[in-house]
A and B are shown apart, each in its own frame.
Chain A
């Protein structure tokens, strides 16, 4: 079965360190997204990509970067981790599905990566 996986699931790091969160999907979806979820804020869009070599900034992109070198992966990098980036991060993908390859807009989410910056 197709799936979307995130790693690591839990990470503790120190302020100033570079951190990369991995996201891998086997849906063959063109669209991939990174969200962060914080209490009281819901899911906020960090970066997104509509295909290989395409990346775009979302609502809260400062301090984050992504790259898309293939269809399956969209790693999220925190260049210099800050305590304000302590959060749960979710990767998601969307694309055409079903026998008729209809674009449904449904987002398929990973299980999340909990990041703590000390």
Chain B
């Protein structure tokens, strides 16, 4: 069956360090992969999209990698801040039309001052 797996255990790191979150998938061949941020009681907010032919994408302190051989995406936040504390969700689209995204269950990040 198709699965999108993110570490269900919270990631606790110290302010200023780099946080690395993992998204693994099986039985998908995604054309696109996205990362979202979700704060408690709020809807997810889009952060980054990476295409299957892109190895890496950056936006300010955020970096996403996409390895279609390993079937894995890594999401990095450099120089993390307590305000980065949230749940981060990965989502993938197996089509080439941006038509439908399937989500992982998310990893909670706690950045301690």
List A residues at the B interface (Cβ < 8 Å): 31, 33, 35, 40-45, 48, 50, 58-59, 90, 92, 94, 103-112
B97-113 interface (Cβ within 8 A of A)? 98-106
Contact A42 B106 (CB under 8 A): yes
Residues of chain B lying within 8 A (CB to CB) of residue A58:
100
Residues in B whose Cβ lies below 8 Å from that of A92: 43
Q: Within the complex, which residue of B44, B99, B104 is in contact with A50, where a contact is CB–CB below 8 Å?
A: B99
For window 43-101 of B, CB contacts with A under 8 Å fall at 43-46, 49, 89, 91, 93, 98-101
Name, among A43, A44, A50, the residue most crowded by chain B CB atoms within 10 Å (CB to CB).
A43
Given A90-B44, A104-B49, 5 new contacts (CB under 8 A): A41-B105, A106-B34, A107-B34, A107-B36, A107-B91
